[in-house]
Amino acid sequence: MKHYIPPCSITPEMLSLVASIAEAVGRMQATGMALRLRRVNRVRTIQGSLAIEGNTLDEKQITAILEGKMVAAPPREIREVQNALAVYDKLPEWNPLRERDLLAAHALLMKGLLESAGSYRQRGVGVIGKNEVVHMAPPANRVPELMTNLFQWLQQTDFHPLVASSIFHYEFEFIHPFEDGNGRMGRFWQSLLLYQWSPVFEHLPIESMIFAHQQDYYDALNQSTQAGDSAPFLSFMLQAIKATLEATPQDAPQHSPQVEALLAVLQGEMSRSELMAALGLSDRKSFRERYLQPALQAGLIEMTIPDKPNSRLQKYRLVQRDGME
């Protein structure tokens, strides 16, 4: 039986991009990612991917939802964020080579938003551009076979994960297997495939970079469809991944284990006593000198009432850096 092989022309430029990305990932793995970037980038990832689909919530609102706070926003958009957070939280548990995991992830992503969540579509769908249908997806009765073929190829391909994940992303969008949520799922599944190659990708906001170049993203999808070859989309994705790596600090300073521990337990805004309890500490002087002051001096955390450092209402929070999109 001959297995389906997605058409894709590999160019020397693409191979150069793969080598450059692999080198950057290797450096990032060697230095370790700063803990303070993890949640910030997870929020940016979700905000970027949902914004492409029209969700209007910003990073502050998504952070508030992550922290369990009330947010004044349309209920559907809040549910979209809650579902996306749940899906990304389970990222290490999904197997990107299993079709049933894809269906389970879609069920969680679209829970309460789509009656057919977790099931392939039963009707025809098209991708709408500004004023016209830019892509008519294959008939619904072909979706199960097309998806099975795509996963068989993914399980057997010898392509580098950077290439294979991008080809899968394009083919997935071309098939458009679900009634809704295809864009979110395609981007998430590529991130999952890349995470399986390197854990660094759990905390790289590639979706945020795609959102910043949204029209180029759609243009690359359309060009690949018109050419019958995923090469234009592959080239776009490799450039987006490279740009994300370049925009993410790879030489983050290493901090003491005490500071790293403090950053790891700091959720939202916490008082000194709450932090000490989370760390299992009782010595206030040791906590101040070994944990709190070094983190403040390094600019990793900040006071909620900086004008009154000794206020009994004082709390601390992570510093969110700008310029990481």
Residues of the chain with pLDDT under 70: 1-2, 31-39, 127-135, 248-255, 320-325
pTM of the model: 0.75
What pLDDT was estimated at residue 255? 62
What pLDDT was estimated at residue 141? 96
Query: Do 42 and 318 contact (CB within 8 A), yes or no?
Result: no
Query: Do 180 and 117 contact (CB within 8 A), yes or no?
Result: no
Tokens 């795509």 identify what position? 150
Burial class of residue 189 in the structure, from the number of CB atoms within 10 Å of its CB (0-12 exposed, 13-18 middle, 19+ buried): buried
Residue 318 main-chain phi, psi, to 5 deg:
-70, 145
Q: Which domains does the chain have, with CATH numbers?
A: 12-247 (1.10.3290.10), 257-318 (1.10.10)
What pLDDT was estimated at residue 103? 98
Alpha carbon distance 151, 145 (integer Å): 10
What pLDDT was estimated at residue 200? 85
What pLDDT was estimated at residue 44? 86
Tokens 């370049």 identify what position? 246
18-28, pLDDT tens digit by residue? 999 999 888 87
